[in-house]
């Protein structure tokens, strides 16, 4: 029987071009109704894809979270626990508790783990600035990679060895970011990081992870070109690099995904790289609409449009969202992401704050169903 609400939904879908997502995208149902063969991981697996999300240390202590996580994810990544600043409270002193907890949880539930990340310009230890100099920077970096990489050797699906090394506005001809690592070591820090990571964990897929390379803007075009150049240089230097991470922090404001992204994925594939969508979410800060259901549909449509373009390539092997439920998302914790709609929480993730699968959940699952098998 079709209810009045459902038929209204169908009219809405038809008139907004959202018919693709189907009427169930609007109905509320408990998380348990989308488990087993109906889960994201089951649908992804049928098409040779891994799927999962970033997990915080607090998430892992939350029973509701871990239950849904185990039901939905075939791959996870630590939201913060494996970053240098969180692992190393003092030079040479490590606290692995939170990172170990995630790796152990994943092993218990047969979930793969991404390592994130060895080398980044953010979330460095507080002691970094006063301690690391041009003389010891190479050793600090390689010691860190060897310490962490060896601890989890054989347990990591892929490591984000370097995160966000490109920043066109820094003005270097090679497009590289003037990060602390660049200032202290020079551009060869990249090659050194990949070679060291390979030494620490020879089976992990070594990944370069970047943001701002998704849409059709001029800025994204330039960043994509600089990213490909960087990978080419690394390969030419004999650095082991196996995959590209496209972070995929997207916005619901009339985004366009297409030609540039397709060409980028094709160029990476031609270089023998796998592609992972590593940090997907959709910000609705730029959307005026006050109606939650219609915002949710716009967000889901962005998931659908973006995944249609990316998953058509068999090189894309994994899709991770940056969080699992709108209850906990970095977008609600950071002021700059709340500038336009300061009094409203964002809803960027597959589950809503009450653990109902959101329209984004169904968009993800439908996109897996439509993806060519790999
Ligand atoms: C970047 C980093 C992630 C995370 C997100 C959002 O994309 O790669 O580790 O910090 O920002 O917080």
pLDDT at 81: 98
What is the phi/psi pair of residue 121, to 5°? -90, -10
> Is residue 341's pLDDT more than 90?
no
Q: Which two tokens stand for residue 252?
A: 């619901």
**Interval 110-128 mean pLDDT:** 98
The best mutation among 87, 279, 335 to test binding of ligand 1, ranked by most ligand atoms within 8 Å of the C-beta, falls on 279
> Is residue 24's pLDDT more than 70?
no
- As beta bridge partners, residue 250 has 282
Nearest CA to ligand 1 atom 6: 330
The best mutation among 120, 322, 334, 348 to test binding of ligand 1, ranked by most ligand atoms within 8 Å of the C-beta, falls on 322
Distance CA 149, CA 156 (A): 9
List own/partner pairs for 197-202 with CB under 8 A and 24 or more apart.
197/118, 197/145, 197/149, 197/159, 197/161, 197/240, 198/240, 199/146, 199/149, 200/145, 200/146, 200/148, 200/149, 200/150, 200/153, 201/149, 201/150, 201/152, 201/153, 201/154, 201/156, 201/159
- As beta bridge partners, residue 75 has 52, 112
Residue 269, CB-side half-sphere exposure with 13 Å CA sphere: 14
> Is residue 350's pLDDT more than 60?
yes
Q: What rounded mean pLDDT belongs to the chain?
A: 92
**Interval 146-153 mean pLDDT:** 98
Q: How far is the CA of 110 from the centre of ligand 1 (A)?
A: 25
> Is residue 307's pLDDT more than 90?
yes
pTM, 2 dp: 0.92
- Using alpha carbons only, how large is the chain's radius of gyration in Å? 21
Taking Cα atoms as reference points, which of 352, 320, 277 lies closest to residue 40? 320
For the chain, the domains span 45-370
With a CB cutoff of 8 Å and minimum separation 6, the contacts of 74 are 41, 44, 45, 50, 51, 52, 111, 112
User: Is 279 assigned a catalytic role?
Assistant: yes
What is the phi/psi pair of residue 286, to 5°? -90, 0
> Is residue 67's pLDDT more than 60?
yes
Q: pLDDT of 82-93, one tens digit each?
A: 999 999 999 999
Q: Please report, in angstroms and rounded to a whole number, the separation of the first and last CA atoms in the chain.
A: 38
Cβ(206)–Cβ(155) below 8 Å: no
Q: pLDDT of 264-281, one tens digit each?
A: 999 999 999 999 999 999
pLDDT at 27: 54
pLDDT at 19: 41
> Is residue 18's pLDDT more than 80?
no
Taking Cα atoms as reference points, which of 342, 344, 345 lies closest to residue 328? 345
Catalytic residue among 164, 191, 210, 214: 164
pLDDT at 344: 86
> Is residue 16's pLDDT more than 70?
no
Distance CA 267, CA 276 (A): 15
DSSP structural state of residue 73: -
Atom nearest to 164 CA in ligand 1? 8
pLDDT at 340: 80
Taking Cα atoms as reference points, which of 32, 47, 29 lies closest to residue 364? 47
Q: With bands split at pLDDT 50, 70 and 90, how would you rate the model's confidence at 7?
A: very low
**Interval 34-38 mean pLDDT:** 97
The helix (H) or strand (E) run that includes residue 276 is strand 274-283
Distance CA 281, CA 94 (A): 31
Q: pLDDT of 174-184, one tens digit each?
A: 999 999 999 99
CATH class for the domain made up of 45-370: alpha beta
Q: How far is the CA of 47 from the centre of ligand 1 (A)?
A: 27
Q: Is 70 left (phi over 0), alpha (psi -120 to 50) or beta?
A: alpha
**Tally of residues, the chain:** 374
Q: pLDDT of 26-35, one tens digit each?
A: 557 889 999 9
Q: List ligand 1's pocket residues with C-beta within 6 A.
A: 116, 163, 211, 247, 279, 330
């Amino acid at each position: 029987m079709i209810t009045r609400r459902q038929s209204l939904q169908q009219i809405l879908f038809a008139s907004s071009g959202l018919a693709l997502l189907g009427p169930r995208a609007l109905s509320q149902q408990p998380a348990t109704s989308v488990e087993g063969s109906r889960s994201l991981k089951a649908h992804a697996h049928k098409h040779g894809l891994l799927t999962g999300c970033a997990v915080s240390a607090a998430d892992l202590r939350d029973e509701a979270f871990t239950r849904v996580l185990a039901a939905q994810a075939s791959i996870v990544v630590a939201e913060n626990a494996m970053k240098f600043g969180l692992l190393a409270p003092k030079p040479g002193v490590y606290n692995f508790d939170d990172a170990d907890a995630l790796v152990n949880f994943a092993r218990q539930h047969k979930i793969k783990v991404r390592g994130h990340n060895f080398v980044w310009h953010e979330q460095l230890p507080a002691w970094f600035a006063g301690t690391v100099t041009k003389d010891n920077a190479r050793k600090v970096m390689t010691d860190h990679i060897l310490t962490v990489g060896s601890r989890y050797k054989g347990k990591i699906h892929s490591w984000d060895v370097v995160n966000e090394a490109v920043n066109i506005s820094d003005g270097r001809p090679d497009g590289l970011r003037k990060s602390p690592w660049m200032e202290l070591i020079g551009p060869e820090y990249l090659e050194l990081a990949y070679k060291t990571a390979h030494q620490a964990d020879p089976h992990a897929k070594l990944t370069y992870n970047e943001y701002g390379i998704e849409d059709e803007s001029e800025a994204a075009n330039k960043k994509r070109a600089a990213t490909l150049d960087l990978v080419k240089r690394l390969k030419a230097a004999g650095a082991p690099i196996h995959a590209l991470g496209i972070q995929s922090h997207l916005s619901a404001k009339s985004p366009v995904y297409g030609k540039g992204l397709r060409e980028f994925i094709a160029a990476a594939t031609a270089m023998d790289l796998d592609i992972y969508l590593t940090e997907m979410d959709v910000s609705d800060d730029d959307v005026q609409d006050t109606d939650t259901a219609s915002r949710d549909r716009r967000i889901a449509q962005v998931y659908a449009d973006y995944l249609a373009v990316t998953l058509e390539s068999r090189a894309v092997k994994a899709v991770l969202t940056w969080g699992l439920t709108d209850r906990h998302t970095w977008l609600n914790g950071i002021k700059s992401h709340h500038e336009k709609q300061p009094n409203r929480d964002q809803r960027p993730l597959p589950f809503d704050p009450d653990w109902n699968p959101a329209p984004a959940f169904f968009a993800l699952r439908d996109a897996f169903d439509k993806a060519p098998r790999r």
